[in-house]
Amino acid sequence: MAGAGDAQTRLDQIVQLIAAELHAEVCSCYLMRAGDILELFATVGLNPSAVHRTRLRVGEGLVGTVAASARPLALADAPSHPNFAYRPETGEEPFRSLAGVPLLRGGRVRGVLVIQHLRARNYSEDEMETLQTVAMVVAELASAGELVGAGEISTAGDAGVLQQRLAGIGINSGLAMGQAVLHRPRLTLSELVAEDPEAEFARFGEAVSTMHASIDVMVQQSREAVPGDTADILESYRMFARDRGWLGRIREAIAQGLTAEAAVERVQQDNRTRMAQVADPYLRARLDDLEDLTNRLLRHLSGKRSPIETALPDDVVLVARALGPAELLDYDRVRLRALVLEEGSPSSHVAIVARALDIPVVGRCAGALSRIEAGDPLIVDGDNGQVLVRPGEDLIDAAARAMATRADRRLSYQAMRDLPAVTRDAEPIQLCINAGLVIEMPQIADTGAEGIGLFRTEIPFMVRATYPDVAAQTALYSEVLEQANGAPVTFRTLDVGGDKTLPYFPAADEENPALGWRAIRIGLDRPAMLRIQLRALVRAAAGRDLRVKFPLIAEVAEFDDARRLLDRELARAAKEGIAPPSSVKVGVMFEVPSLLWQLDALLKSVDFVSVGSNDLAQYLFAADRNNPRVGSRYDPLSPAFLTVLDRLAERCRAARVPLSICGEMASRPLEAMALLGLGVRILSMTPRAVGPIKAMVRSIDSRQVGEFLKPLLSGRERSLRPKLRAFARDHGASIEDIALVR
């Protein structure tokens, strides 16, 4: 690879070396050409005149078989194989045994490496492993574009591909198919040192002005196309673009003799180095915004077109290491089907914008850019956090059927939208949705939900560059209540800490942040923050109902302290002559098991209880839900977890305190069916889940579910899921989730 000479010379040397090391009479290398043709590019042992003359189609002969299957092949008696194809110009007739391995890069076959021996022999595992290791090196040489032109490489090898399944996390649910478009906006710098700094300053100033103008246009267009909270994200991005510190450091680098392009890259390298030492996930995510701005500024300096401006397929699945929110909006939203990120988190700006665009997103998909090539067909399963690369016809058909089923069911759910959520035994069920952005409020009417069971107030905090004051928060909560149009909205106070951080609030350095300083603990330790939020909520609810719940309450004393702060804000509003809410209901998020031993005191103090099933499960089972080794180890349909919920539901009924579930359990038909059997009558879920859950509600007899389920709670099974699924099937319950077959 690193030897002297051109690529052909190096390839000739490689086959000679392999033949010598493996004591083979023949070593040959075939490379893929356009049209699924394998051409002999180098050989030791066969006739030299056959090089560049001998060609095989994919699937033809033993070499073509290796390419078609993308798998190694070892034969002690090659001529006896039914796929053997003798090519007289090669002079290979004397050779009996053959071993061939595919040259794989990015999951695609780029050629085949073959060794042959005169006598019949079996190839050992060590020999095959050695050949496969060498094939990796040869594949890199073959993909460099020196032996076969880069344009031909991009169209060659479509027949010999490996299907892959990449795992990540589902950042936005949904199922989509399309062609991969790789987001690699980096530009190669040709000149680093400037002869005329003044000219570079002028070029830089002009490029910055042009960039600012283009960002202004983009922000305005996005306000019209994607209104709501995304405006805050883009305003934050625009503030980055005008940051004096960033631009000043670039000017300093120009003054030191660098070209404008080199200065921009130099400053961004410094940013990467500093950010690499930062543990705060929010601040790390801001590096994506700076990367976006760096690439954008470099394009304006170079005058080169954005890769986004080139021709795109009709169905785009965007694949990137990371992405800024503006970069996503650069792509044609009509063609954009899904997003795959090597990094990314649910709280990143690009994730929030993607949710507003309603496209599936899979993040933390390790190695996506190295294992996916431009034009590869992809299936993105945001529900299960999976990306299927180069799927076979069976999976494409399955995905197409699933998408068609989703579309059909969406129509049936739409037709069911205005029907009541009532069980067959006449039990009314209240279905609400979870939200965190103003843009999601129309989903109440769109889904037929009865209100917002959980409004995550931290999300608007996370998309801002500075802490919102009372006026800003009041305006936000007023708009939420206004758009709810009289439907109840339950606001959860600021739930930050752990994996949710604010850019303007120092994150605690904790070994186990899930058990650390977060949620109500921050609010009570920093009462000014909590009081500002409660003050804004009281003012926004003037003349309307106010529903507030406090997260991560571990003991009744914490609830009492938080309630006193709310009472002080209500008294303050009355003193200032501000119209009070028409009613005030205060509750808790039941997430910490310690409250089970204070239920009597708790239920005398609260107006309602909401179970956060995700956190309750991780605390009950001592299993980090973000850890893939243990996160799925414990099933919420286990007797242990359902027994906790059963006892809680029973105590709430006796105390006449409404109980709701607003975690993931409420969004899944089978789990929701079990909850109804336990007596839960209020469910809050993702908007997409309202239709399936309502269909389930209307298809079951909740009394029968309870009679079947409760005797099972004393059992020893790890999960009651199979028995509940069998019950649902036998009783005609609609509990089917629309997801890709795994």
Q: Copy the structure tokens of residue 436.
A: 């965190």
**For helices 393-416 and 690-699, what crossing angle results, to 10°?**
70
Half-sphere exposure of 721 (CA within 13 A, CB side): 12
Q: What is the pLDDT of residue 216?
A: 83
Closest CA relative to residue 44, chosen from 115, 136, 148:
115
Q: What is the mean pLDDT of residues 240-265?
A: 85
Bridge pairing between strands 545-550 and 336-341: unpaired
Q: Is 60 exceeded by the pLDDT of residue 227?
A: no
Bridge pairing between strands 377-381 and 175-183: antiparallel
Alpha-carbon 492 to chain mean position: 25
Q: CB within 8 A of 457, min separation 6: which ones?
A: 436, 491, 492, 493, 494, 495, 533
Place of tokens 């990094």: 343
Q: What is the pLDDT of residue 213?
A: 87
Work out the mean pLDDT of the chain and round it to a whole number.
Answer: 85
663 or 117, which is more confident: 117
Q: How far apart are CA 261 and CA 272, in angstroms?
A: 17
Most confident listed range (196-205, 262-271, 323-332): 196-205
* Angle (nearest 5°) at CA 654 between 652 and 655: 65
Q: How far apart are CA 220 and CA 533, in angstroms?
A: 29
Q: How far apart are CA 29 and CA 116, in angstroms?
A: 12
Q: Is 70 exceeded by the pLDDT of residue 663?
A: yes
Q: Is 0.75 topped by the overall pTM?
A: no
Q: What is the pLDDT of residue 292?
A: 76
User: Phi-psi bin for 590: left (phi > 0), alpha (psi -120 to 50), beta?
Assistant: beta
In sequence order, what E strands does 175-222 have? Answer: 175-183
Q: How far apart are CA 740 and CA 386, in angstroms?
A: 10
8 A C-beta contact, residue 406 and residue 173: no
* Three-state DSSP class for residue 242: coil
Most confident listed range (314-318, 403-407, 441-445, 597-601): 597-601
Q: What is the pLDDT of residue 738?
A: 44
Q: What is the pLDDT of residue 374?
A: 80
Q: CB within 8 A of 575, min separation 6: which ones?
A: none
Q: What is the pLDDT of residue 652?
A: 97
Closest CA relative to residue 295, chosen from 286, 283, 284, 307:
307
pLDDT band, very low/low/confident/very high, at 78 (cuts 50, 70, 90)? very high
Q: How far apart are CA 290 and CA 397, in angstroms?
A: 40
- 365-404 tens-digit pLDDT: 888 887 888 888 999 998 888 899 888 787 888 888 888 8
Kindly state the helix (H) or strand (E) to which residue 28 belongs, with its residue range. Answer: strand 26-33
Q: What is the mean pLDDT of residues 14-26?
A: 93
Q: Is 60 exceeded by the pLDDT of residue 552?
A: yes
pLDDT band, very low/low/confident/very high, at 283 (cuts 50, 70, 90)? low
Active site amino acids: 349, 662
Express as a percent the part of the chain with pLDDT over 90: 46
What one-letter code names the amino acid at 605? S
Which residues are bridge partners to 659 per DSSP?
609
* Three-state DSSP class for residue 187: coil
C-alpha distances in Å from residue 230, one per residue of 174, 194, 225, 310, 574: 20, 40, 10, 26, 34
Q: How far apart are CA 317 and CA 368, in angstroms?
A: 12
DSSP state of 352: H
